[in-house]
Amino acid sequence: MILKPIPKIRPDTTARLFPPIDERTTMFWIQPGSPTLLDVDEIAENMYEAIPLLYPVDTDYMILSWNRIPIAVNYHTDVYVFVYDIVQLLEDIQTANFADAYVSTGSSDFFAQWWIRKEKDELVIDSHWDTVVGNYEFLLNERSRLTVETAVLTGEWLKLLRRLVDDLTSKSVRMKDEDLFLRTKALLARPPSGTEA
């Protein structure tokens, strides 16, 4: 499968492609896509080492929308770098004393920093974007603040985690250390924060 490169976006075209939004508008969603799966014969050290073994470089991207700006995230090269931080964040969010957190995605093609704080039933995320596929970090930095309901952010990230767990399970990928994998399954087994009775 050959993917066409995602074109760079010129600053003078952004107003047409991404119309202005009200700062209060919440727009965060994740589309996991349908990535190709490889057979994994070797035993991976852990979940983050298993992910790049499972997905080839040229496959469907995960799409993350931040304030109506779509961001392409590669399963092979990007997702494994920050999956631990997302699992840790979702675990922390569901604790009663959660107040704030910091997440850095750390990937060379998806490098962002998020400063997250809780305000009632919402999360306010101030971000800085260093690198994304398409080279339109400038636009993301113009729309750096995102306000999202806790349950919405949790539910959207669970889409990705469910994709990872289902794919690893379907290919019977073996891991020496299953701690992160089991923590991820535990998150999927309970309702998202903010939806409990």
Q: How far apart are CA 6 and CA 91, in angstroms?
A: 34
Average pLDDT on 92-119 reads 95
- Percent of the chain scoring above 90 in pLDDT: 81
Q: Are 45 and 69 in contact (CB under 8 A)?
A: no
**Residues across the chain:** 197
Global confidence as pTM:
0.84
Residue 7's pLDDT band, with cuts at 50, 70 and 90, is very low
Exposure letters 71-81 (e unless 16+ CB within 10 A, then b): bbbbbbbbbbb
Q: How far apart are CA 24 and CA 121, in angstroms?
A: 15
Nearest of 150, 147, 122 to residue 23 by alpha carbon: 147
Q: What are phi and psi of 135, to 5 degrees?
A: 60, 45
Q: Is 90 exposed, middle or buried (CB count within 10 Å of its CB: 0-12, 13-18, 19+)?
A: buried
Residue 10's pLDDT band, with cuts at 50, 70 and 90, is very low
Q: How far apart are CA 193 and CA 162, in angstroms?
A: 16
pLDDT at 173 over 90: yes
Element (H, E) at 180: helix 179-189
Q: Is 50 exposed, middle or buried (CB count within 10 Å of its CB: 0-12, 13-18, 19+)?
A: buried
Q: Are 31 and 60 in contact (CB under 8 A)?
A: no
